[in-house]
């Protein structure tokens, strides 16, 4: 089993979702995964995909070069970072001319991109590298009272032609990862719908209506909570749930957990060590207790 990764958390996590970071580290420790922090890595370059391609690729290559220096594959926690870094890595590996141009830019900051490592999202690491069976061995507190709804988000799976993980139309990885905790993964309408986060700045009304639609579907399916694997989706559903309620005139009251928070509870890790003070809509902690 691969068990060492360079660990990239991007911008949204340290700004608004350090609980995701904290829970991931607890889970990694239990699973024997060694994570190497990159505290000065900064941003993956995602937004420059919409502004200037050379800036985007150079920023992404800078982060990739940091993992290369440590000779480790790069684990990311954010779907946005996954899309941006995975695709930049692929594009640069396939285009030597583009790689040379990027390296001219990186020379400015004393770095070089070589194209020697892979990018993997946490959910992919857990599902492919660790595997459900190894995770099962660590479950000591099966969460049999919990009904959870999986939110995959977009850039964990898509564009599927490039990312090639799971099935973009009917994904199963996160559902399986929820089920191994002992919880029931509840199906709901329009499961693949986007959180809307990407248009928040341009058109908050559309974004919040999109967020609200999914919360309404999750509620209608009778789920106790929504489970995310992306800090930005999490912010949309949790921290911005009030704003979505104001926009749609509905009440949702759906707690939103980062997947490793759920997994950690099933591994018997104390909720106090999982940063729940940063979850806006508090889950009913009694749901996680042994019967």
User: Given the rule CB under 8 A, which residues bind another protein?
Assistant: 11-12, 14-16, 18-19, 21-22, 25, 37, 39-43, 47-56, 58-59, 62, 105-106, 108-109, 111, 154-155, 158-160, 168-169, 192-194, 196-199, 201-203, 205-207, 209-210, 213, 275, 278
Whole-number minimum distance, CB 215 to another protein, in Å? 14
Q: Is the Cβ of residue 146 or residue 257 nearer to another protein in the bound state?
A: 257
Q: Is the Cβ of residue 39 or residue 137 nearer to another protein in the bound state?
A: 39
Q: Is the dihedral of CA 159, 162, 163, 164 positive or negative?
A: positive
Tokens of 278: 């940063």
Whole-number minimum distance, CB 69 to another protein, in Å? 14
Q: Is the Cβ of residue 171 or residue 255 nearer to another protein in the bound state?
A: 171
Whole-number minimum distance, CB 16 to another protein, in Å? 8
Phi, psi of 74 (to 5 degrees): -105, 125
The runs of H, that is alpha helices, within 2-112 are 12-16, 18-31, 53-69, 79-94, 96-107
Whole-number minimum distance, CB 124 to another protein, in Å? 17
Q: Is the Cβ of residue 141 or residue 278 nearer to another protein in the bound state?
A: 278
CB distance 234 to 17 below 8 Å: yes
Give the integer Cα–Cα distance in Å for 79 and 17: 14
Whole-number minimum distance, CB 175 to another protein, in Å? 19
Question: Which residues, other chains included, contact 15 with Cβ-Cβ below 8 Å and sequence gap of 6+?
Answer: none
CB distance 234 to 228 below 8 Å: yes
């Amino acid at each position: 089993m691969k068990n060492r990764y360079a660990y990239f958390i991007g911008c949204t996590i340290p700004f608004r979702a350090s609980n995701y970071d904290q829970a991931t580290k607890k889970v990694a420790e239990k699973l024997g995964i060694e994570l190497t922090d990159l505290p000065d890595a900064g941003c993956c370059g995602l937004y420059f995909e919409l502004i200037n391609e050379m800036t985007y690729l150079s920023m992404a290559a800078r982060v990739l070069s940091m993992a290369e220096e440590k000779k480790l594959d790069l684990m990311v926690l954010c779907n946005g970072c996954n899309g941006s870094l995975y695709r930049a890595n692929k594009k640069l590996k396939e285009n030597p001319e583009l790689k040379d141009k990027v390296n001219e830019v990186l020379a400015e900051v004393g770095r070089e991109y070589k194209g020697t490592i892979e990018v993997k999202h946490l959910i992919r690491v857990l599902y492919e590298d660790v595997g459900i069976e190894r995770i099962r061995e660590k479950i000591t507190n099966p969460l049999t009272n919990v009904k959870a709804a999986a939110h995959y988000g977009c850039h964990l799976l898509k564009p599927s032609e490039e990312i090639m993980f799971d099935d973009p139309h009917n994904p199963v990885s996160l559902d399986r990862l929820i089920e191994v905790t002992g919880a029931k993964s509840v199906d709901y309408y329009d499961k693949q719908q986007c959180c809307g986060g990407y248009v928040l700045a341009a058109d908050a009304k559309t974004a919040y209506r999109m967020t609200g639609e999914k919360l309404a579907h999750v509620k209608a399916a009778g789920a106790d909570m929504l489970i995310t694997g992306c800090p930005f989706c999490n912010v949309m559903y949790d921290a911005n749930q009030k704003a979505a309620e104001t926009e749609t005139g509905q009440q949702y009251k759906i707690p939103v957990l980062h997947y490793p928070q759920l997994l950690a509870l099933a591994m018997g890790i104390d909720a106090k060590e999982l940063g729940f003070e940063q979850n806006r809509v508090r889950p009913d902690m009694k749901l996680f207790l042994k019967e």
